[in-house]
Chain A
Amino acid sequence: MERYLTATYALTKAYLIRFFRDKTAMFFTFLFPLLFLFVFGSLNSGGGDVSFNIAMINKSDSSFSEQFATQLRENDVFDVTSDTQDFEVAREAMGRSEIDSIIILPEGFGELNDRQQPSGSVEVYYSEAAPQSGQTIAAVMEGALEGINRELGQPEAPLTVAQKSTATSNLSNFDYVFAGLLGFSILSLGIFGLANQMPAEKKTGSFRRLRASPIRKSQLIFANMIYYLFIGVLSVALMFAVATWMFDFDMRGDWFNLVVFIILGIVTMFGFGLAIGGWAKNENQSAALTNIVAFPMMFLSGVFFPRFLMPEWLQGITAYLPLSPIIDGLRMIMTEAKTLLDLGPELLVIGGWLVLIYAIAIRIFRWE
């Protein structure tokens, strides 16, 4: 046993030393995800605070409507950048992406209903080209109205938003983006990293050299796993640092739960990389297979756009992709303060993939 650990440790150490001397590998592991974070983070948060440029058209002359409009102007989340009261003008501005959304307080909005309470429906218009903004604005608006409704003590909400959003309210776009980018980082590290590395080592013969020593397959796998966990956790920690520092990322959940969940995610994705890299005889084989495995996850698991924007039937299917529960789980821990105990369905899907992929990976592993 001690011999087993000595050899595993020696190999892990060798991998880590090599990694920190490899500038290209460092770039792709640490800086590349950060670049994505800068680009997508800036796109989705408008720097610092989450805020949206809107046009507000108040067609109602009720005093409630007037107050509501004033509050909206003072709200940090919304920047009322267009003073036009003409819907067509506003629509053109939105077409030029000058504004993210048009909010209309329709005629009669805020007038008292038969229970002597202000009622009505806020209309949120958003560009089809940027559904994300619209969904989020609708969600935020709904949240605001809910507050008023609660104050009014109404069992039935008299104030509603016309654009129904399927998104959970009080989530900023950055929360979705960040969870997705974390997922992307975990995916690319586990799959692309190992799937490239192992065939290359088979080609140069360093695998053969290792195999000439009394090392076991499991030692090679554990050494690589520890190595990838180390750089993976480091890379994710960097992303958290940047997210907190540059994009005011607000961690609402428990760090311990998050770290355990991230490790689980890295180990799962490592299994896919191991299966591909361990099986492939050369880089051509692994490149093709990597694309087949990684691309569906990249586009259907919520990396670049949230899965809630997909049609219901597609959401149902993509929920079973191995990366989906990882991204969903990350977001739920970070923004909804969920714990691992709340993530039963996600952990079930991840666990299923974990068992399956390691069973396959160990079976199809080839030394050369």
Chain B
Amino acid sequence: MHHKQFAFILKSNKQVPEIPPFPGGIFCIQCELMKNIITVKNLTKKYSGKTTVDGVSFSVKEGEVFGILGPNGAGKTTTLEMIEALRPIDGGSVKLDGLDVAKDPNEVKKIIGIQLQSTAFFDKLSLREQLELFDGLYDETTDPNTLLEYVQLTDKSKSYVEQLSGGQKQRFSIAAALVNKPRVLFLDEPTTGLDPQARRNLWDLITNIKKQGITVVLTTHYMDEAELLCDRIAIMDNGKIITIDTPKNLIKALIKRGFTKPQVVEQANLEDVFIDLTGKDLRE
């Protein structure tokens, strides 16, 4: 991604079009044509005898937003960390853009961006200085100002991370993960703990990143978020993947199995009320 492209990102970010309610349905035809950028085979992790990730296999297609859902302790984060070369792989293999993660962890790290679950940055360094540090670590020359503008933090460039709000921290964390113009961006629970406005703002940002052709792999506990953002979803429990499909197909399959719930036709829910009363404008 070159500076010019970033300029394009900036423009398009300001006028994010309404996101279609079921993007999965639209993109799925395209998906079939896309190549796999991540291929996970039989991935396994054991901690003192207990298997936290138990022979997981799946692939992520280039350019899609791939969601990993599951209750706490399902093994989502551990799976992500093994793919990101942050945790040793006990069994199985991960190929990322043709690279073997176990053999070439540093080459893999060069082409991925990672936003960690706990936003962890140095204290007493301004946002600008942090991005300069990451420029140095990746030997890149991405202009910090461009990145900060992209995540709407231009006016915070001289602030420390510890002075940011939750939503700002997450946005900055994404900016830092974009320094090396990654092929794949990993987001671990990016919207946990954010207010409805900040969540919506982050959804727009993720949608925009996808538009740049960056593959996004994310974990989340919010089903509405997964439904809205993800082209495909893997649901994990007890270290295993139970199912993988588009959100739409998963819902269809459930109804086909005869699932019903009381038909309550609501024109709005409480969140709609909240957003209606407080507006969509970002607060921080």
Pick the contact of A214 from B109, B116, B130, B135 — CB < 8 Å?
B109
B114 contacts A by Cβ under 8 Å: yes
A83 contacts B by Cβ under 8 Å: no
A18–B124 touching, CB < 8 Å: yes
Given contacts A205-B118, A208-B86, A212-B86, A17 and B129 within 8 Å (CB-CB): yes
Least distance between A210 CB and chain B CB atoms (Å): 7
Count of A-B contacts judged by CB separation below 8 Å: 72
B116–A208 touching, CB < 8 Å: yes
Nearest B-chain residue to A200, judged by Cβ: B123
B279 contacts A by Cβ under 8 Å: no
Complex Cα distance, B129 from A205, in Å, reads 18
A115 contacts B by Cβ under 8 Å: no
B62 contacts A by Cβ under 8 Å: no
A21–B124 touching, CB < 8 Å: yes
Q: From residue 179 to 211 of chain B, which have CB atoms closer than 8 A to chain A?
A: 180
Complex Cα distance, B177 from A14, in Å, reads 18
Q: Please give the number of chain B residues whose Cβ is less than 8 angstroms from any Cβ of chain A in the complex.
A: 29
Least distance between B257 CB and chain A CB atoms (Å): 41
A213–B138 touching, CB < 8 Å: yes
Complex Cα distance, B133 from A9, in Å, reads 9
Contacts of B118 in A (CB 8 A): 205
B120–A11 touching, CB < 8 Å: no
Contacts of A2 in B (CB 8 A): 139
Nearest B-chain residue to A7, judged by Cβ: B137
B47 contacts A by Cβ under 8 Å: no
Nearest A-chain residue to B162, judged by Cβ: A204
Least distance between B101 CB and chain A CB atoms (Å): 13
Complex Cα distance, B120 from A207, in Å, reads 8
B259 contacts A by Cβ under 8 Å: no
Residue with the highest number of chain A CB atoms closer than 10 Å, among B119, B120, B121, B137: B137
Given contacts A3-B139, A10-B133, A212-B84, A18 and B125 within 8 Å (CB-CB): yes
Contacts of A9 in B (CB 8 A): 136
Contacts of A10 in B (CB 8 A): 132-133, 135-137
6 residue pairs of the A-B complex, CB under 8 angstroms, read A3-B139, A10-B136, A18-B125, A21-B124, A208-B120, A209-B116
User: Which residues on A are within 8 Å of B, measured CB to CB?
Assistant: 2-3, 6-7, 9-11, 13-14, 17-18, 21-22, 204-216
User: Which residues on B are within 8 Å of A, measured CB to CB?
Assistant: 84, 86, 106-107, 109-110, 114, 116, 118-125, 129-130, 132-139, 176-177, 180
